[in-house]
A and B are shown apart, each in its own frame.
Chain A
Amino acid sequence: EVVLTQSPGSLSLSPGERATLSCRASQSVITTYLAWYQQKPGQAPRLLMKGTSIRAPGFPDRFSGSGSGTDFTLTISGLEPDDFAVYYCFYYGSAPWTFGQGTKVEIK
C-alpha cells in the first residue's frame, strides 16, 4: 500500500509569491498515476493535475507538476487570490488508491 506524505501541512504566502508543495510516496510509484486536486471550502475537490504534470482543463500554466520515483512537487508560480485552497496529491496506480493529507495554502 502506497502512503503519500505531503509537506508542509500549511503554507502562508502573499499573492504573487511562489508556492512549492511536496508529496512523498512510501515507495516508488508510476508517474502516470499521480494526480493533484485543489479543494476550496464547501466545494468538491477539482482535478488539477494528472500524470504528474498534465494540467487539467481550466487551470493556467502557473500551475506545474513534476517528480518521479517517490518525490513529487506541485508548483504555483505567482499566486493569485483564487489559488488559496487545499491541495491533495493522489495515487491511483495500484489499489488501495490513496490521498495525501493535504497542504493548505493560505493568504499571508
Chain B
Amino acid sequence: QVQLQESGPGLVKPSQTLSLTCTVSGGTVDTGGHFWTWVRQRPGAGLEWIGYIYYTRSTHYNPSLESRVTISLDTSLNQVSLKLTSVSAADTALYFCTWGLDQWGPGTLVTVSS
C-alpha cells in the first residue's frame, strides 16, 4: 500500500515560491499505471486539481495555474514535488498529493502572508 506524506513550509510570503514535497513509501515514484497528482483546497472551499505527472515525466496542469506551476519527480528521494511561483493570499490552501484515484496524503496547510 502506497503511503504519501506532504511537507513544506507552512508560511510563504507573497510573491515568493511555494515548494512542497510528497514523500512516497510503499512504492516508487517511477511506477507506471497511475498519475501523481496535486490537489488543493482553499479554506472552506472545494477541491481544485492542480496538475499531474506520470512516471514518464509527462505533465499536465490546470490552465488557471499553468504559468506558475511545476510538478516533478525525484527518483533518488522517492518524492513528488510541487512548485508554485509568485504566490498570493489566494494560494493559501491545504495541499494534497495523490497517487491514482484512491491514495491521498493527509495534506499540508500553506498560508501565504507577509
Chain A residues whose CB sits within 8 angstroms of the CB of B102 once the complex forms: 46-47, 56
Residues from chain B with Cβ under 8 Å of A100 in the complex: 46
Expressed in whole angstroms, the Cα–Cα distance for A35 and B98 within the complex equals: 15
Note all chain A residues with C-beta closer than 8 A to B96.
44-45
Chain A interface size band reads 20 to 34
Answer yes or no: A20 CB below 8 A from chain B CBs.
Answer: no
Instruction: Among A86, A97, A99, find the residue whose CB has the most chain B CB atoms closer than 10 A.
Output: A97
Q: Are B107 and A99 in contact (CB under 8 A)?
A: no
- Whether A44 lies near B52 (C-beta < 8 A) is no
CB-based contact B46/A97 at 8 Å:
no
Bound complex: CA A48 to CA B46 (Å): 16
Q: Is the CB of B47 within 8 A of A102?
A: yes
* Docked pose: A50 CA to B49 CA in angstroms: 17
In the bound assembly, the distance between CA atoms of A84 and B13 in angstroms comes to: 36
Which of B59-67, B71-79, B85-93 is found at the contact surface with chain A?
B59-67
Taking a contact as CB atoms under 8 Å apart, the answer to whether A99 and B104 are in contact is: no
- On A, residues with C-beta under 8 Å from B are 1, 35, 37, 39, 44-47, 50, 56, 86, 88, 90, 92, 95-102
